[in-house]
Copies of this chain bind each other. A is one copy, B any other.
Amino acid sequence: MHRTKVKVVEEALDANNTIAAANRADFDRAGVRVVNFMSAPGAGKTTLLERVVADLPGVRVGVLEGDVQGSMDADRLASLHVPVTQLNTDPGFGGECHLDANMVRSALSALPLDQIDLLVIENVGNLVCPAEFRVGEDARVMVSSVTEGEDKPLKYPLMFRTCDLVLVNKIDLLPHLDYDLDKFLYYLDQVHPDVPRMLVSARTGEGLDGWREWLQSAATPEGALA
């Protein structure tokens, strides 16, 4: 029984990887770099995008918004005059907890790939399954808010292990929390030694220059994702 279950899942992941490769080929043909942007619910993904996407000189950004339901985040980003495509996961499963390659593929025709250089895919807020499903991205960025506690790298290791950049958000709240930043960074290094990390506050703007520069660089062939 157990072995059957594992087999089914592996086949599902194999199929996902095949479709992710097809997405990847389409993105390459269009010359679009793709970032899979992930975090727990409420860690600040949308605000971190709002703060920088309208201010990346020479880089045309598009956003694919993944949500179980609604379009609140897409509406916020569209007000910045950035092309935003909404992808809702609720028809499939009573609410899929992640985006997979096929969902992204189904949105390809709605994406203005010929008009953008960089596509940011804002995944469903979840620290487990989004890390298991490649969607055709060049890089994975995750946000870990300091309000979530220091132990998250040890509790959700796959997410932290498979990302290319960790944004440690809401650092303006550090004076008001029992949060040991050194302990978090120690745990982070246990699961993903030397992964690039940036301490930021989407609220105060602290550290956002680095995040802006990383995205800018990600959009160029010789940049952060090379």
A158 is an interface residue with CB less than 8 A from chain B: yes
Taking Cβ atoms with an 8 Å cutoff, the residues of A that contact B are 2, 5-6, 9, 13, 40-42, 67-70, 72, 92-97, 124-129, 131-132, 145, 147-149, 151-152, 154-158, 170, 172-173, 176-178, 203
Given contacts A126-B128, A147-B170, A176-B173, contact A94 B41 (CB under 8 A): no
Check if A132 sits within 8 Å of B94, measured CB to CB: yes
Check if B94 sits within 8 Å of A155, measured CB to CB: no
Oligomeric state, in copies: 2
Contacts of A147 in B (CB 8 A): 42, 145, 147, 170, 173
Check if B203 sits within 8 Å of A154, measured CB to CB: no
> Which residue of chain B lies nearest to A151 when distances are taken between CB atoms in the complex?
B72
The 7 closest A-B pairs by CB, nearest first: A42-B148, A97-B128, A147-B147, A40-B41, A42-B149, A97-B129, A41-B127
Contacts of A93 in B (CB 8 A): 5, 9, 132
Contacts of A131 in B (CB 8 A): 95
Check if B67 sits within 8 Å of A155, measured CB to CB: yes
Check if A41 sits within 8 Å of B148, measured CB to CB: yes
Check if A152 sits within 8 Å of B41, measured CB to CB: yes
Complex-state Cα separation, A40 to B145, whole angstroms: 12
Check if B40 sits within 8 Å of A125, measured CB to CB: yes
Complex-state Cα separation, A193 to B42, whole angstroms: 22
Distance (whole angstroms) from the CB of A133 to the closest CB of chain B: 10
Complex-state Cα separation, A1 to B177, whole angstroms: 48
Complex-state Cα separation, A5 to B8, whole angstroms: 13
Contacts of A149 in B (CB 8 A): 42
Check if A155 sits within 8 Å of B69, measured CB to CB: yes
A-B contact pairs, 10 of them (CB 8 A): A6-B92, A9-B93, A41-B148, A67-B155, A93-B132, A95-B128, A96-B128, A97-B97, A125-B127, A125-B155
Check if A155 sits within 8 Å of B97, measured CB to CB: no
> Which residue of chain B lies nearest to A97 when distances are taken between CB atoms in the complex?
B128
